[in-house]
Structure 1
Amino acid sequence: MRKQSKYKMIKLELADDSIIEPQNLENFGDGRALISKAVLEDTEGRFYSVSPNQNGLRFTMGELTYKEYRKKEKNEDLKGISFLALLIGLTLTIMYLSSIFLL
């Protein structure tokens, strides 16, 4: 993400809430820490917080605007929540139906 970005890397936020500053990126661990967000800065001094996923990479390469990036992230979150709700509903339905037919 950093090598292909048109933005300046400000910091990386890790899953354990620790922060890696740019001067420490070269010495950044053994790759086992989970990066949750990358904070970037454009040439006009605006900051952007992006996830290290395909949409975040597309934003850093300039393929998406930040507004498009946020919209895609929200849509993917909504799809995930909808899938989880459907899975829970299906499980509860199967449990209910199996209790009726077993009696």
Structure 2
Amino acid sequence: MNWNPITSIDQLAQIKEASFQSPQVIFKHSTRCSISSMVLNRLERSDAPEQVQFHYLDLLAYRPISDQIATDFAVYHESPQVLLIKNGECVYDESHHGISMDEIAEQAAQTA
């Protein structure tokens, strides 16, 4: 898994722009949550779809960015949470035990 860490709000505009070329996934991770750690581990052991770029947000260290993600993509904040961005919009989001690489791949293929 090749994560692109999100450390500034400016990166959200770059992710939006890149989503017009290929699907973008944002994974919001709480480093203090055992469910979030389990989901992260499950994602990292899975085969990621090649056409999708994956971005990682440590939401405890960068809570203002997490808040901006909720605003920019019109989603309710959850943790852990995965968002699939295509053509500048969130076309799929899931949280907690519902997060799986198979579902991400399926949703990315549908929106590609």
Q: Same fold (TM over 0.5)?
A: no
Larger Rg: 1
1 or 2, which has the higher strand percentage?
2
1 or 2, which has the higher helix percentage?
1
TM-score, with length taken from structure 1:
0.28
